[in-house]
């Protein structure tokens, strides 16, 4: 069934495209929304990503549906990064913060996904981008450095800043409960 869908997508079958869109759009929208923080923009950029996937599917050679979904995610993330670069809202300063090897104390509280989501949204743009790429997408610092055209150490620094900021926000949020 899944292979048939991929085959149909390769043939630019409209119904297969709609099916593939409908089963993946929500997850892709959430990714874009996490990066861009704007609903309309996230929708538009995600659609651009789907358009690229449907029109460049001949470049996808791994075959299966899982592979195609992973590839789609990568395409969509790249679209978001491009959009951020267009907006020129990612700004990385040169003053690098030395990476702390010390593991911070982290409140052991079970949090809902939406809370994580909203907290990440509140991070500054540059920290949020690096955090999303490293923690959520699983990029290495080298890959982030290439994607954002920044030094690898800058990626490390901004990840650390993001972690600290996130930790501070979580602690603040649960301050009353933990006291």
Rounded alpha-carbon distances, angstroms, from residue 20 to 42, 43, 125: 18, 16, 30
CA nearest 50: which of 20, 27, 70, 30? 20
- Decide: helix, strand or coil at residue 103: coil
The span from the CA of 28 to the CA of 14, in Å, is 19
CB of 174 to another protein, least distance (A): 8
Of 92 and 134, which has the nearer Cβ to another protein?
A: 134
Residue 125 CB, shortest distance to another protein, in Å, is 18
Applying CB under 8 A, which residues contact another protein?
18, 21-22, 25-26, 29-30, 33-34, 39, 42-44, 46-47, 50-51, 103, 105-109, 111-114, 116-118, 120, 134-136, 138, 163, 171, 175, 178-179
Which of these, 116, 149, 154, lies nearest to 135 by C-alpha position? 116
Q: Is 81 in a helix, a strand, or coil?
A: helix
Question: Whose Cβ is closer to another protein: residue 92's or residue 139's?
Answer: 139
Min CB(107)–another protein separation in Å: 6
Of 137 and 152, nearer to another protein (C-beta) is 137
Which CB sits closer to another protein, 92 or 131?
131
Instruction: Give the integer Cα–Cα distance in Å for 55 and 124.
Output: 34
User: What is the distance between the alpha carbons of residues 90 and 81, in angstroms, rounded to a whole number?
Assistant: 9
Choice between 3 and 168, CB closer to another protein: 168
92, 158 Cβ separation under 8 angstroms: yes
For residue 122, the minimal CB distance to another protein (Å) is 12
User: Token pair of 152, please?
Assistant: 């690898």
CB of 96 to another protein, least distance (A): 18
Shortest distance, position 129 Cβ to another protein, whole Å: 15
Nearer to another protein, 1 or 105 (CB): 105
């Amino acid at each position: 069934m899944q292979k048939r869908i991929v085959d149909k997508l390769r043939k630019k079958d409209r119904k297969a495209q709609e099916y593939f869109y409908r089963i993946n759009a929500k997850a892709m929208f959430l990714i874009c929304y996490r990066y861009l923080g704007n609903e309309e923009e996230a929708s538009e950029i995600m659609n651009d990503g789907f358009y690229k996937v449907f029109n460049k599917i001949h470049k996808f050679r791994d075959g299966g549906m899982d592979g195609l979904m992973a590839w789609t995610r990568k395409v969509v993330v790249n679209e978001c990064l491009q959009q951020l670069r267009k907006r020129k809202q990612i700004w990385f300063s040169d003053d690098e913060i030395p990476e702390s090897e010390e593991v911070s104390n982290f409140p052991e509280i079970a949090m809902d996904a939406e809370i994580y989501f909203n907290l990440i949204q509140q991070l500054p743009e540059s920290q949020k981008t690096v955090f999303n790429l490293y923690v959520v997408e699983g990029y290495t610092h080298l890959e982030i450095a290439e994607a954002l055209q920044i030094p690898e150490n800058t990626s490390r620094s901004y990840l650390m800043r993001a972690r600290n900021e996130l930790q501070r926000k979580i602690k603040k949020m649960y301050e009353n409960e933990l006291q």
